[in-house]
Structure 1
Amino acid sequence: MRPTPIPPQPGQESVWDYPRPPRLEPVHKRIQIVFNEVTIVDTVKAMRVLETSHPPTYYIPPDDIGQHYLIPSNRSTFCEWKGQGSYYSVKVGEKIAVDVAWYYSSPTPNFQAIENYVAFYAAPMDACYVDGEKVIPQPGQFYGGWITSDVVGPFKGETGSWGW
C-alpha cells in the first residue's frame, strides 16, 4: 500500500514524484563529505539518481575524491537498474569505515554517465553536505539516499515501508 505523500512546499521536491525506473541527472550544488575531520570529497560536478520513494543518491566523480582514502573491498551487490556494484572502505588516519562507498565500473547503458563515480552512505561519515546543508541519512541500513530540507517523503526505509 502506497503511503500518503507529504505535499512539497515551494522549492521542495517530493520523492513520490521521482520516476521508476530511476532517472540520472547532473547536480550543480556543492557536495562535501567529511570523515575523521578530513574533507574527502568536494565537488560541484556530482550526479544524482532519483527513484520513487527514495531521497536522492549522489554519485561523485573520481577526480573530486581523495582517492588515497579509498580501499577496494571484496563486497559486491547487484542493482536491477545500474548493474553490478563494487565497494570501497574509507580510511583516514587510523579511522576506517568498512564498505561505505560503492560504484559501478560497467553500469547499464542508462547509467553510463556514473561509470566509476562513487556514492557514499551518509551515516558512517562525520558529515555530508549539499550546498552547505548537513544531510540526514536515508532510514534503513541498505539505502544510500541523502535527505535535505528540499526533499519530502515519506521515505523508503522508514518503519513499515517494506510493503511499498
Structure 2
Amino acid sequence: MEPESVWDYPRPPALRASQERVEVELGGVVVARTRRSLQVLETSHPPTYYLPAGDFLAGALVPVAGSTWCEWKGEATYFDLVVGERVAARAAWCYPDPVPAYAALRDHVAVMPGLVDACVVDGERVRPQEGGFYGGWITSKVTGPFKGAPGSRGW
C-alpha cells in the first residue's frame, strides 16, 4: 500500500475512524490502548489520533488549567498523563464541546507523541511532528513534508 501524502488531506480537516491498534506508553506502562481511534487529517499535517477517553487507564488523565482555541474544532482543554510517579505535563487534550462538524471528537483524547515514552500504531513506533505545537503522528503510512519544521510556520 502506497503511503498517503499529507498534501492530499483537506482543509478544513477531515475526520476518519481507524481500527488500527493504537497504544500510548508512559513510565513503562501502556496508559491507553484502542482499536477505536479517530484521526484528524489536515493539509500538511500527519494524522492526529484521538483515542476514546474510556480506553485510558483509570486515573491516567489528570485535568489541568488552561485552554486553547482551534479555528476548526473549538476550545481544547488539557491533561497531564500520570502513571505512578511519572508525569507528562499537558501531554494530552480534548474538545469537551467541539463545534458540530467535529462532534465525533467528544469523549476522545489526543496525545502529543513527543511528550510520552512512545506512541505506537499497529506495532510501529510513531515519530512526533516537529515544532512542539502540533500533535501529528508520523508513521510509514504518510509522507510529507510536514508542517512544524523550522521555516514552515507560514505554510
Same fold (TM over 0.5): yes
User: For residues 154 and 103 of structure 2, what CA distance do their matches in structure 1 show?
Assistant: 30
1:89-129 C-alpha deviation (Å, 9 max, x unpaired) = 01111111111100011001111111020000001111100
| Equivalent position of 2:56 in the other structure | 65
1:11-37 C-alpha deviation (Å, 9 max, x unpaired) = 210000000000001001000010000
3-state SS of paired residue (1:68): coil
User: For residues 103 and 79 of structure 1, what CA distance do their matches in structure 2 show?
Assistant: 11
3-state SS of paired residue (2:115): coil
Equivalent of 1:113 in 104, 108, 115 = 104
User: For residues 100 and 156 of structure 1, what CA distance do their matches in structure 2 show?
Assistant: 19
| Equivalent position of 1:149 in the other structure | 140
The amino acid of 2:40's aligned partner reads V
1:51 aligns with 2:15: no
Q: Which runs of 5+ in 2 are unaligned?
A: none
1:134 aligns with 2:125: yes
Q: How does the TM-score come out when normalised to structure 1?
A: 0.92
User: For residues 106 and 145 of structure 1, what CA distance do their matches in structure 2 show?
Assistant: 21
| Equivalent position of 1:91 in the other structure | 82
| Equivalent position of 1:13 in the other structure | 4
User: For residues 71 and 141 of structure 1, what CA distance do their matches in structure 2 show?
Assistant: 21
Equivalent of 2:92 in 76, 101, 107 = 101
Q: What's the C-alpha RMSD, in Å, of the aligned pairs?
A: 0.8
The amino acid of 1:12's aligned partner reads P
User: For residues 114 and 101 of structure 1, what CA distance do their matches in structure 2 show?
Assistant: 14
Equivalent of 1:79 in 60, 64, 70 = 70
Contact 1:70 1:88 in 2 (8 A): yes
| Equivalent position of 1:39 in the other structure | 30
3-state SS of paired residue (1:63): helix
Q: Which runs of 5+ in 1 are unaligned?
A: 1-9
Equivalent of 2:114 in 123, 133, 157 = 123
3-state SS of paired residue (1:112): helix
3-state SS of paired residue (1:53): coil
Report runs of 4+ in structure 1 exceeding 3 Å deviation: none
1:39-86 C-alpha deviation (Å, 9 max, x unpaired) = 001100000000000000000001111131111010200001000000
| Equivalent position of 1:4 in the other structure | none
